[in-house]
Structure 1
Amino acid sequence: MVPRTLFGAEHEEFRKSLRRFFAEEVMPHHERWEEQQHVDRAIWNRAGDLGFLCLTIPEEYGGMGADRLYSTVLMEEQTHAGASGVGFSVHSDIIANYIYNFGNETQKQHWLPKMASGEAIGAVAMTEPGTGSDLQSIKTRAVKDGSDYIINGSKIFITNGYLSDIVVVVARTGDSGEGSKDLSLILVEAGTPGFTKGKPLKKVGMKGQDTCELFFENVRVPQSNLLGPKEGMGFIMLMKELAWERLIIAILSIAGAQAALDMTLEYTRNRKVFGKPVASFQNSRFKLAEMKAEIGIGQVFVDRCIELQLKNKLAPDAAAAAKYWTSDLLCKVVDECVQLHGGYGYMLEYPIARAYIDSRASKIYGGTNEIMKELIARTL
């Protein structure tokens, strides 16, 4: 396959540190986290101590000041380990970016060091019951009252929501009732009166990652919690970050497909049927060859998208294509790998079974793949 050329020696050293961290400090606890439906808060503090959070945030705000290749390495190693419970990427590469890119100096100085240390966990509250991927139909409202906003509404499927300390809430600050022109991003801190969290939602997969509903009932926050220079900039700010967010899903998806292939290669080489390794049968070899080829093709496209992102030149339709194609491929590969494992592929003690139930969400979150195709179709 085509060799990867993105990473230098420093990235590979970072990769080794991450691999040890996930193997020794995350995965031994993962089954317990899945049972309680959220990770222990201590793992966030530990990740912060090791410098694994907010990698791209400048050092003056507690981050590493690194490029997004370091974020890519973290996502790949997390995926290869099977650590679906920790929501580091949402926290570090999405929420921290909103605050750094659009927040004022007070907001940045207050929140980013806490996020980098793991003291404060971040979430973004976009999706609402009944709206799904349609951000322009958001109903949550923030109404001015003196020098404050009063927020009412609810959000669903919020990653890191249960443990969150700071939430970027997408709310409507105008009177249109729909559309994008009066959406704003407002910071809401956990513990604010009227802001409550539901219990972690019972998902099919990714059970260790806390995902919950958030409720806002007459939540009063100062107008200084607004992100950006003025009201109504929310949709524009969301769009500026969405290409990277969708590329994150592509990075995770192609890494997940490679991890599934790797574990299946090992299994089929060692597992014997009719006195021969499963990998020696022609059907097995052809299936494995098809997956290797398709993953290699997908990896080249994802790596090219990463190169463009590093130059701030990644087009939204390319990010949408990467997200939809690689997440489709992930689900296809994992399904084939389960089949090659036979009955053991359906047993949760085997990593491929956990990958099977964890991977399906990739075609839904970050905008469904149907939405991705619609975005691509608009450029035709």
Structure 2
Amino acid sequence: MIRDPESFAAFIDSLRRFVRERLVPREAEVARLDDVPADLVAEMAAQGLFGYSIPEAYGGAGMTTEELILAALELSQCAVAFRARVGTNTGIGSEALVADGTEAQKARYLPSLASGAVTGCFALTEPQAGSDATALRTTARRDGDSYVLNGEKCFITNAPLAGLFTVMARTDPDEPGARGITAFIVERGMAGLSTGQPYEKMGQAGSPVSAVYLNDCRVPAANIIGGREGQGFKTAMRVLNKQRIHLAALCIGPAIRMLDDTMRFVAEREQFGRPLMEFQLVQAMLADCQTEIQAARALVLQTARERDAGQDVTLNASICKYYASEMCGRVADRCVQMHGGYGYIADYGIERFYRDVRLFRLYEGTSQIHQLTIARHTLSQAGYIAGR
């Protein structure tokens, strides 16, 4: 659903120019510094990149799912760090408030997230609770008008620079599964909250990820998202359902960029007196890349439109994330192969994308978890029970 096609087309053109003229030229700098410089963060904020999916009433763009996907396809055609810098505000760092927050919570927190003045993050994963999110051990004990939180989160994108944390904690120790989990808004300045040193990672330089520690962290009861205990897991699933579609689009953008860069390379590079693009086995790899990119794009746009129409997209959101992330990995591998030895050299950029996109198959549900989810929903829709 595109609300105003003419103005949205102009917006996409502007975003495309911004990515190509302001972000792409500074990719190597971001990789070298392992940081997105403040002047670029300010430019991204001025472009409204932090508030795409936050409602207009709170300073965002209020994008529909389809609009968000089309914007993500453009924004992600540059180093992953740029998208990741704004992505938690546009996605998981704000979506719990957008979906389930009270009016007072939205009014207090969403404007600063939309403007980029505050960076948000989503603290669900723990050392012993990754794919099995219901096994989380972080506790929240009621104490008067507050809750006291204790636990550790890990692999939290933007945690080192976040000012606002959506934290999942267990408020009912007698409920070991999903029903005992509650979502809290925790501010950086609240006593007892701290973050670890950024991890040294395989890729995605410039996108800080760290642990989050909660040591007798006192949080007002008013900071329960939605105001009710025990709804946290439902909130998390609503967040992830939308964000898996979003992330699928963010897998397609880098694939488009890698294919574009590779086509330029094989058009210019010669072997045996001919450009590489004339060799049929190279053409076969180009064809496979293009076909899979187009298939992923069509799938994600279809699912986005279904979500905008109010349909249940739980199954298709998983299919999108699974297919698009695996597709991106295959495109990266083929593009390195088509570059030959140059694909292994940092000067050409393909090796950086190769490392950066590897994470796509792990976060917001590993490929294997999505395979299980897809199978379970498929069997359920057919009237079968998995395991029989």
SS of the aligned residue for 1:53 comes to helix
Report the Cα distance in structure 1 between the residues aligned to 2:96 and 2:105, rounded to whole angstroms.
Answer: 11
Aligned to 1:125: 123
- Report the alpha carbon displacement of residue 177 of structure 1 after superposing the two structures with TM: 6.0
Misfit runs of 4+, over 4 Å: none
- Report the alpha carbon displacement of residue 32 of structure 1 after superposing the two structures with TM: 3.6
Q: Is the 8 A contact 1:51 1:116 kept in 2?
A: yes
- Taking only the aligned residue pairs, the percentage that are identical comes to 32
Matches within 5 A, 1:229-248: 229-248=227-246
Report the Cα distance in structure 1 between the residues aligned to 2:115 and 2:302, rounded to whole angstroms.
Answer: 32
- Report the alpha carbon displacement of residue 366 of structure 1 after superposing the two structures with TM: 0.5
Residue 287 in 1 paired to residue 282 in 2? no
Residue 202 in 1 paired to residue 200 in 2? yes
Residue 98 in 1 paired to residue 96 in 2? yes
- Report the alpha carbon displacement of residue 291 of structure 1 after superposing the two structures with TM: 2.0
Report the Cα distance in structure 2 between the residues aligned to 1:110 and 1:43, rounded to whole angstroms.
Answer: 26
Report the Cα distance in structure 1 between the residues aligned to 2:224 and 2:199, rounded to whole angstroms.
Answer: 29
Q: 2:354 aligns with which of 348, 356, 374?
A: 356
- Report the alpha carbon displacement of residue 267 of structure 1 after superposing the two structures with TM: 0.9
Report the Cα distance in structure 1 between the residues aligned to 2:312 and 2:249, rounded to whole angstroms.
Answer: 14
SS of the aligned residue for 1:333 comes to helix
Stretch moving more, 232-241 or 49-58: 49-58
SS of the aligned residue for 2:310 comes to coil
Aligned to 1:82: 79
SS of the aligned residue for 2:179 comes to coil
Q: Is the 8 A contact 2:303 2:317 kept in 1?
A: yes
Report the Cα distance in structure 2 between the residues aligned to 1:78 and 1:50, rounded to whole angstroms.
Answer: 12
Aligned to 1:138: 136
- Which structure's residues are more often helix, by fraction? 2
Aligned to 2:371: 373
Aligned to 2:382: none
Aligned to 1:219: 217
Report the Cα distance in structure 1 between the residues aligned to 2:327 and 2:244, rounded to whole angstroms.
Answer: 15
Aligned to 1:18: 15
Are the structure 2 counterparts of residues 120 and 42 from structure 1 closer, same or farther at C-alpha, using a change threshold of 3 Å? farther
Aligned to 2:154: 156
Are the structure 2 counterparts of residues 44 and 103 from structure 1 closer, same or farther at C-alpha, using a change threshold of 3 Å? farther
Q: 2:325 aligns with which of 324, 327, 337?
A: 327
Report the Cα distance in structure 2 between the residues aligned to 1:91 and 1:50, rounded to whole angstroms.
Answer: 14
Amino acid in the other structure paired with 2:272: F
Stretch moving more, 93-102 or 77-86: 77-86
Q: Is the 8 A contact 2:88 2:119 kept in 1?
A: no
Report the Cα distance in structure 1 between the residues aligned to 2:366 and 2:303, rounded to whole angstroms.
Answer: 19
| Aligned alpha-carbon RMSD (Å) | 1.9
Q: Is the 8 A contact 1:171 1:183 kept in 2?
A: yes
Aligned to 2:336: 338
Q: Is the 8 A contact 2:80 2:356 kept in 1?
A: no
CA shift digits 1:2-32 (9 cap, x unpaired):
xxx9993333311222223233443444434
Amino acid in the other structure paired with 2:78: A
- Report the alpha carbon displacement of residue 36 of structure 1 after superposing the two structures with TM: 4.2
Using structure 2 for the length normalisation, give the TM-score. Answer: 0.91
SS of the aligned residue for 1:378 comes to helix
Residue 66 in 1 paired to residue 63 in 2? yes
Report the Cα distance in structure 2 between the residues aligned to 1:314 and 1:112, rounded to whole angstroms.
Answer: 26
Report the Cα distance in structure 2 between the residues aligned to 1:283 and 1:90, rounded to whole angstroms.
Answer: 40
Aligned to 1:303: 301
CA shift digits 1:219-267 (9 cap, x unpaired):
1111111001310000111122222111112111222222221211111
Stretch moving more, 275-284 or 235-244: 235-244
Are the structure 2 counterparts of residues 248 and 59 from structure 1 closer, same or farther at C-alpha, using a change threshold of 3 Å? closer
Q: Is the 8 A contact 1:55 1:66 kept in 2?
A: yes
Are the structure 2 counterparts of residues 195 and 28 from structure 1 closer, same or farther at C-alpha, using a change threshold of 3 Å? farther
Aligned to 2:385: none
Identify unmatched segments of 5+ residues in structure 2: 380-388
Report the Cα distance in structure 2 between the residues aligned to 1:27 and 1:250, rounded to whole angstroms.
Answer: 21
Identify unmatched segments of 5+ residues in structure 1: none
- Report the alpha carbon displacement of residue 56 of structure 1 after superposing the two structures with TM: 2.9
Stretch moving more, 205-214 or 99-108: 99-108
Q: Is the 8 A contact 1:75 1:89 kept in 2?
A: no
Aligned to 2:386: none
Using structure 1 for the length normalisation, give the TM-score. Answer: 0.93
Report the Cα distance in structure 2 between the residues aligned to 1:222 and 1:10, rounded to whole angstroms.
Answer: 42
SS of the aligned residue for 2:130 comes to coil
SS of the aligned residue for 2:311 comes to coil
Aligned length: 376
- Report the alpha carbon displacement of residue 41 of structure 1 after superposing the two structures with TM: 4.6
Are the structure 2 counterparts of residues 333 and 7 from structure 1 closer, same or farther at C-alpha, using a change threshold of 3 Å? farther
